[in-house]
Amino acid sequence: MRRPVIAGNWKLYKTVKETVQFVEQLKPLVQNSSHCDIVIAPPFTALSAAIHAAAGTNILVSGQDLFWEKEGAFTGEVSAPMLADLGCQFCIVGHSERRQYFGETNETVNRKTQAALAAGLTPIVCIGETLAEREVNQTHTVIQTQFDEGFNNLTVQDFFRIVVAYEPVWAIGTGRTATPEMAVEVHKQIRQFAQQKFGSEASRELRILYGGSVKPNNIKGLMAQVDIDGALVGGASLKADSFASMVNF
Ligand code: PEP
Q: Tens digits of per-residue pLDDT, 77-129?
A: 999 999 999 999 999 999 999 999 999 999 999 999 999 999 999 999 999 99
Segment 7-16 shows an average pLDDT of 98
Residue with CA nearest ligand 1 atom 8: 234
Atom of ligand 1 nearest to the CA of 95: 3
Residue type, 248: N
Catalytic residue ranges: 95, 167
pTM of the model: 0.98
Q: Is 100 in the pocket of ligand 1 (CB under 6 A)?
A: no
pLDDT at 175: 87
pLDDT at 62: 99
Segment 141-145 shows an average pLDDT of 98
Q: How confident is the model at residue 166 (pLDDT cuts 50, 70, 90)?
A: very high
Segment 195-216 shows an average pLDDT of 97
By most ligand atoms within 8 Å of CB, the mutation choice from 13, 218, 233 for ligand 1 is: 233
pLDDT at 116: 98
Q: How confident is the model at residue 20 (pLDDT cuts 50, 70, 90)?
A: very high
Residue with CA nearest ligand 1 atom 2: 234
Averaged confidence pLDDT in the chain: 97
Segment 189-213 shows an average pLDDT of 97
Q: Is 234 in the pocket of ligand 1 (CB under 6 A)?
A: yes
Q: Is 227 in the pocket of ligand 1 (CB under 6 A)?
A: no
Q: How far apart are CA 56 and CA 54, in angstroms?
A: 6
Q: Is 235 in the pocket of ligand 1 (CB under 6 A)?
A: yes
* 129 CA to centre of ligand 1 in angstroms: 14
Segment 207-234 shows an average pLDDT of 97
* 235 CA to centre of ligand 1 in angstroms: 6
138's CB contacts (< 8 A; 6+ apart) are 129
Q: Is 219 in the pocket of ligand 1 (CB under 6 A)?
A: no
pLDDT at 15: 98
CATH of domain 5-247: 3.20.20.70
By most ligand atoms within 8 Å of CB, the mutation choice from 5, 9, 218 for ligand 1 is: 9
Segment 19-48 shows an average pLDDT of 98
* 213 CA to centre of ligand 1 in angstroms: 6
Q: How confident is the model at residue 177 (pLDDT cuts 50, 70, 90)?
A: confident
247, with CB counted inside 10 A (0-12, 13-18, 19+), is buried
Q: How far apart are CA 15 and CA 13, in angstroms?
A: 7
Residue pair 129/168 in contact by the 8 Å Cβ criterion: yes
> HEC states along 137-157?
CCHHHHHHHHHHHHCCCCCHH
Q: How far apart are CA 115 and CA 57, in angstroms?
A: 27
Residue pair 61/49 in contact by the 8 Å Cβ criterion: no
